[in-house]
Amino acid sequence: MDPGIVCFQHCGPKVFCFSLPESCPVCKADLSEANFSLLPFRVPYPFVRASQYPCAVVIKPTSGDFLNDYYNSMDLHIGVTTSTGTIVEFDKNGLRRHRNGQWGQCLLLDQATSPWREHWDNTLLQVCKQKCWFARNYNEERHNCYTFVLTFLRTLDYGNLSKAASSRTIFCEKFIVPRTTSAGKYISLYRKLKDSGFCVHKTACK
């Protein structure tokens, strides 16, 4: 899952790679006896396995995964997890509850604190019982996964998360764009490394 991107600095620029090379790609010095100006460290992997995050709101690409298939926020699919990590999602097949591996690489938008867990599960159950989540009600534009999750969040009345859920635009701006933007940096780095093995950043980068 985590491809394990490593970052180090030897003679100046930051170097990113999947595993430490024998020699520095910048100055060619032997790295086994080198003095690093920044010791090699693992770049934090931004994605999570949804089932490990109870009472959470999560997104993933509608098809495929972030690292290989994600291009823009237009094709993101959103779901929530219960207090036991079961995924609940609404799509063209209707409402589904499951624990399958399709949500193994997603972004965590927010997670309720433990005192909220019972209220979270009860509210979710209540929203799931509404008659508008059958497959025949699904509409890609107007009645989709966002409709379900935002309806749930508004009913939940959980601080800023529920406030932002009043409109899809506000919700995207506050909760989705910041996550996809920072994950986007990791994704493009991963794809560069897959093509060329390492990547050198001449200017300082985060």
Question: Rounded distance, CA 85 to CA 1, Å?
Answer: 19
Query: What tokens were used for 32?
Result: 């086994």
Q: 117 or 151, CB closer to Zn ion? A: 151
Question: Rounded distance, CA 151 to CA 157, Å?
Answer: 10
* Residue 164 binds to Zn ion (criterion: CB under 5 A): no
Q: Name which position in 5, 16, 56, 77 contacts Zn ion (CB under 5 A).
A: 77
* Residue 38 binds to Zn ion (criterion: CB under 5 A): no
Query: Could you tell me the smallest distance in angstroms from the CB atom of residue 156 to Zn ion?
Result: 19
* Residue 205 binds to Zn ion (criterion: CB under 5 A): no
* Residue 95 binds to Zn ion (criterion: CB under 5 A): no
* Residue 10 binds to Zn ion (criterion: CB under 5 A): yes
* Residue 24 binds to Zn ion (criterion: CB under 5 A): yes
Binding mask 106-145 for Zn ion (x = CB under 5 A): ---------------------------------------x
Question: Rounded distance, CA 187 to CA 190, Å?
Answer: 5
Which amino acid is present at 23? S
* Residue 200 binds to Zn ion (criterion: CB under 5 A): no
* Residue 14 binds to Zn ion (criterion: CB under 5 A): no
Which residues lie near Zn ion (CB under 5 A)? 10-11, 24, 26-27, 77, 145
